[in-house]
Amino acid sequence: MARDNNRRGRDRDETPEFQDRLVAINRVSKTVKGGKRFGFAALVVVGDQKGRVGFGKGKAKEVPEAIRKATEQAKRQMIRVPLREGRTLHHDVNGRHGAGKVVMRTAPQGTGIIAGGPMRAVFEMLGVLDVVAKSIGSQNPYNMIRATMDGLAKEASPRNVAQRRGKKVSDILPKTDAAPAAPATAEA
């Protein structure tokens, strides 16, 4: 029995594997015979900042309980996204959900996260350091996050593409020639 307690204690003392970001919290009401019953709806994004991200929503009478439910759902719905050099996307990608559309583009090192609102939360939890993103259409945070996740689910690494096609990664990637040597000039 003492051994089980030690094991449980170790799990709690570890640093949390995932980080979460509260994106939106709404006060919602249900009209009943005696008046209105108020509750809260929370939208949370969870990620390990190493290529895994998920989102969840939760409703409850109290804010902390709604956030807890949303976080649990987000952990269950995580997806893995391949990242180039651990900092940006492999290729440009579009995503959409309902009237929300997003465009996500790769960016050179040092660009940072150029994205607004809910999209920024997704990229930060995913671990992307350099990306340029634009949202078009719906500004509803639920639709924006779903559109972003839709686009990220389409992201493929060269290794995945090569495996699907039955080729080598070197056959897929464009050939990068070494810079041609400058002709030697005779200076006297």
Residue pair 117/100 in contact by the 8 Å Cβ criterion: no
pLDDT in tens, 24-73: 999 999 999 999 999 999 999 999 988 899 999 999 999 999 999 999 99
**For residue 120, what are the CA distances in angstroms to 4, 50, 55, 82?**
41, 16, 13, 18
Confidence grade of residue 177 (pLDDT, cut at 50, 70, 90): low
pLDDT in tens, 151-176: 999 988 888 888 888 888 888 777 76
List alpha helices for 14-135, DSSP H: 63-76, 117-126
Q: What is the pTM of this model?
A: 0.80
Domains and CATH numbers, the chain: 2-172 (3.30.230.10)
